[in-house]
Structure formats: C-alpha cells, structure tokens
Structure 1
Amino acid sequence: MPPSLEMPPVTPEAAFGRELRRLREAQGWSLDAFGTRVGYSGTMIGYFERAKRPVPEKFVTSAEETLGLKGELVALWKEIDPKTAPRWFRQWPKIESAAVSIRTWEPLVVPGLMQTPEYARVLLSAEPGAAKEQVEELVQTRLQRQSIFQGASPPMYAAVIDEGVLRRPIGGKSVMKAQLEHLIALMDHPKITLQVVPTEVGATPGLLGGFAIAQLPSGPDAAYLESASNGQVTDRVDEVRAISLRYDTIRAWAHPLHVTRSVIRELTERYGDE
C-alpha cells in the first residue's frame, strides 16, 4: 500500500479566502468587478483570497453588505482577527468548552475563567499599545469563555492560586473587593473549587508561570502553558504528564477549601476598610 499522505491543516486565513472566492464567483464577478463594488482593487481582493494580506474589518463589512450576507464572512474573519484572541490561544477556548475537567494554577493573577469584567479590563489595558476598542473585544471574549459554567454539564474546575494574587491590588480597592467577592460566589458552584497557596510556603514549582490542564471526553488530555510573549497548547503525553505532576505538587501546599474561603473573606474585608 502506498504511504498515506496527510493534508496540511487549512489556516483560518485560507478558509476565509476560499469562502470569499466562492461567494464572488457565485455572483459571476471578476476580481476587478467585485473590487469596484467594495472599494478595493482587484489585486487586493486577490491577495485576500490567497491569504497574502491581512483582511481589514472595513473590507469585511463592505463585502458582507455587497454579497447580501448575514455574518458568514464576519464569523470566518473573527477566527483570524488578532483583536479577538492571539492566534496561539484560539485553540484553547475550544478545548475548555469540550473538557470534562480543568485544573489550573496561577501565581500572579486571577484565572481568566474567574475574572470579573472590571478586573479583566484593567489587566488587558496594561498591554503596551492596547487600544480601548481592542481591550473591550478581548474582555467580551474572556467573558464568553466563562459561559462554560452555565451549560447543562459544566466541567469540573479546580483552581489553585498563589496568595499574592489576592494581595496584588489590580485596578484598586473597589475592583479587587468586587473580584474577591466574585471568587467567594464562584466557590458555591458545585463544580468549582478554589485553593490558595500561602505566601509563607516560599518557593514552589509553580513560580515560573501559570498553566491549565484539560481532561477531554475522548482523546489525549491537553495543557496550556503561559509565557511573557505568548502561550503554548500541547497534548503530548509526556508534557501533559509532567505538568499534571507539577499541579499536584503545588496543590499539596494549598490551604483546604474552608481555609481558602476564610482567607479570601478576610482580604475582601480589608479592601473594603482601606
């Protein structure tokens, strides 16, 4: 038998270009004819179709109107729009939504699935060069990820955070008070647990960065690792196993659930009194 040949995956940019070409040709328009209708040159339309140039939002809006669409191109464009989420991260929300359990560790900030809109907005605004509109889109994307807890069968979610996360005044007293109150409320969810590693523990194997591990109903588990510039999603068995071991080691140092709740309540009151 001849060796099987795997087709390379279709990138979001290529998928958008293919659909754009299909829709244009279905109308019987040449590149130039379509370009005249949407205010772009035929050459640039060709670049978009071949995924050779970034596609601006203005073009997508004009193309949707010209082609009489109802969001089809917008949906494809959001997969390649850098404002929606970094390209390296886009795979992870899909994994989250399919997972039966998620274990996460965060040494610096509240995990994304547990953030209030105000807390998330302050964090995302701290990114160099972040525009207000871009920040708002990213906040909405983060809130949309949190909808996994509202479904009929949400995943088991076990978060472990460093105590310093609770003490770092992201956004000031009012933002932190609301965030900590939100954490206490989330702990009442039957499928969410939160534990805090006390600062007196000192060094732990988690100080180098946050991560999350997702158990899927079928196929290998997956892990997401954070870094300063980007992140990494992996399903390599050896890597996921090593990350799981690190999580278990960190969690062994964490306060029990009832102590964690007391710690968060105490700090919430402090933010209210200051």
Structure 2
Amino acid sequence: MADVPGPVSDFIVGEIRRARGAGGMTQEAFGRGAGFSASHVSAVESGTRALTMDFIRGADRAFGNGGIFERLAVKLGTPSWFLPWLDAERGATQLRYFEPNLIPGLLQVEHYARVVLRSVDSLTDDEVEQRVKGRMSRQAILTGERPPQFVAVLDEAALRRTGDGIGGIMAQQVAHLIAMAELPHIHVHVIPLASGLHVGLSGPFALARSGGGVWVGHLENQLGGDVVDKDDEVATLQARWESVRNEALPRRQSIDLLKEVESHHGPQ
C-alpha cells in the first residue's frame, strides 16, 4: 500500500506513538486492534518500515477515534482521491503514463513540480511544499531495488512550453527526462507536433499492472481523479494507450528529440 510522504509520516508516527503511550497500550495490544503484528508496529515506530495508509487506518480502528489520523494524513500530505491510485502505483510491476500537457509526476524535477502545483491558486505555500515533497518521495519506486517497468508517452507540446522564468526549469526538466530515459527499465516516447490531432488530446491517463497481473487505470481531471478498475473501462484505456503509443516516436528517436528540445531551452 502507498507510503505516506516522509515529513508527514514522521509527524503522524510520533502522534500515534504518543496516543498509544497515553492509552497505556503495548505494541502488541495496539497491533491486535490495528491488524498488525507487534514487530510490524515496532518497525513503523522506529522508522525502519514505511508508514502506509493501511497502518494509519488500523491505528484509527485501534484507538476508535473516528478516523482522525487518516484525515490528518490527507490534510497534510495527499488528496484523498489520489490515495487509491498511490496504492496501485506503489505495488505495480508495470506502469504506463500518457500526458499531453505536462511531464508525468514520477518524472518531474522539484522546480518543475513546484511551478505546476503553484498554478493551483487554492493551495497555500505550505500545501504546495507538502505536495512537492510527496511527489518527490513517490519517485523512489523508479530507483529502488526492484523498480517497475515504466513507459511514458508525452506530447512534444508539453516539452516546448515556455514563459517567464520557465526556460531554465524546462532545460533542467528535459535533461532529467533524458537521464531517466537512458535507464533500462524506463522508456520515454514523444508524440511529435507533426502528428496533429490524436485521441490522447482528450486527456491524460495512467495504467498500473499489479504483481498478480491485474491492470487498473487512473483518470485525472480538474476536480480530482478516479481509479478505473472495471474490465470494460480498463480495456478502453488499454486501447487508448495503444493508439497514443503508436503515434509516438521509437525510444532512441524520442531521446534525440529530447536532446534537440533541451538545446532549444538553452543552458540550465
């Protein structure tokens, strides 16, 4: 299940530990109520095991507090609508991302992510920084011991976006894409502008394949997002994926295009 971003995790673990102590609960007794072994509880409290949303929900059950820790995690870290997708993303063996307008979150550099999140004017500066940290922490799945196969399809327009103060950021971002695309388990494909209109311009989507071979999808929109797990809807997204993938350049040609775009944006 999805890990909670580090700064949020440290705070919530400390609060859970204090609540357990105040309630006179041993790790074993707390674990029985939360649905985890005493050794698992000990590992989370000592920081040697990641805090997950499942553990947080278990803590709420053990304390019978009406879900206060889950609400705290959502408030401080990640929108509630995104949590189910984080679970799927974290456990995936294969990931497919299509983005017509932005760089996928798992491939964003910190400065680019901050600019994107600041475009949401309802977020405070603190909320932007928390989400930037959360986005950066998600990227650990791509560099772990057993990373998923990751394939991203981008529209060239997303790479050539310009504006006040964004040139250097885009140069840094494209350089990062090139470095990531050189890794054996990461494939970045670009749909050239010359392709014109294509089905992917209707919006971004993602697909995740679990270790058991089950695919789920994710759709994001202006109001939030939805996890797609019905067979017919997943099949539709798979068909859309094949369409946009076929519009894109092969891997090496895509990297060459990324290098050309990097030179266009100028020095970092």
Question: What TM-score comes out, normalization by structure 1 length?
Answer: 0.72
Unmatched segments (≥5 aa) in structure 2: 1-15, 26-63
> How large is the Cα RMSD of the aligned pairs?
2.5
In structure 2, the residue corresponding to 1:180 is in which secondary structure? helix
Question: Counterpart in 1 of 2:262?
Answer: 268
Q: What's the CA shift for 1:77? A: 5.4
Q: Distance in 2 between matches of 1:190 and 1:244?
A: 23
Q: Can you list the C-alpha shifts for 1:33-89, whole angstroms capped at 9, x where unaligned? A: xxxxxxxxxxxxxxx9345xxx6xxxxxxxxxxxxxxxxx6xx5553x334111100
Question: Counterpart in 1 of 2:187?
Answer: 193
Q: Distance in 2 between matches of 1:83 and 1:202?
A: 41
Larger Rg: 1
Match of 1:182 among 154, 176, 183: 176
Q: What's the CA shift for 1:24? A: 5.7
Question: Counterpart in 1 of 2:87?
Answer: 94
Decide whether the 8 Å contact of 2:171 with 2:267 is kept in 1: no
Question: Counterpart in 2 of 1:146?
Answer: 139
Residue 252 (structure 1) aligned with residue 246 (structure 2) = yes
Q: Which amino acid aligns with 1:217?
A: G
Question: Counterpart in 1 of 2:29?
Answer: none
Q: Distance in 1 between matches of 2:128 and 2:185?
A: 29
In structure 1, the residue corresponding to 2:247 is in which secondary structure? coil
Residue 233 (structure 1) aligned with residue 227 (structure 2) = yes
Decide whether the 8 Å contact of 1:83 with 1:134 is kept in 2: yes
Decide whether the 8 Å contact of 1:118 with 1:175 is kept in 2: yes
Q: Distance in 2 between matches of 1:177 and 1:213?
A: 28
Q: Distance in 2 between matches of 1:191 and 1:273?
A: 28
Match of 2:109 among 116, 126, 129: 116
Q: Distance in 2 between matches of 1:226 and 1:260?
A: 25
Describe how 1:47-86 pairs up with structure 2 within 5 A.
49-50=65-66, 76=70, 78-79=72-73, 81-86=74-79
Unmatched segments (≥5 aa) in structure 1: 1-17, 28-47, 56-72
Q: Which amino acid aligns with 1:196?
A: V
Q: Which amino acid aligns with 2:263?
A: E
Q: Number of residue pairs matched? A: 214
Do the aligned partners of residues 21 and 110 (structure 1) sit closer, same or farther apart at CA in structure 2, a change above 3 Å counting?
A: same
Q: Distance in 2 between matches of 1:182 and 1:21?
A: 42
Decide whether the 8 Å contact of 1:88 with 1:231 is kept in 2: yes
Residue 157 (structure 1) aligned with residue 173 (structure 2) = no
Decide whether the 8 Å contact of 1:215 with 1:222 is kept in 2: yes
The alignment-based identity, stated in percent, is 32
Question: What TM-score comes out, normalization by structure 2 length?
Answer: 0.74
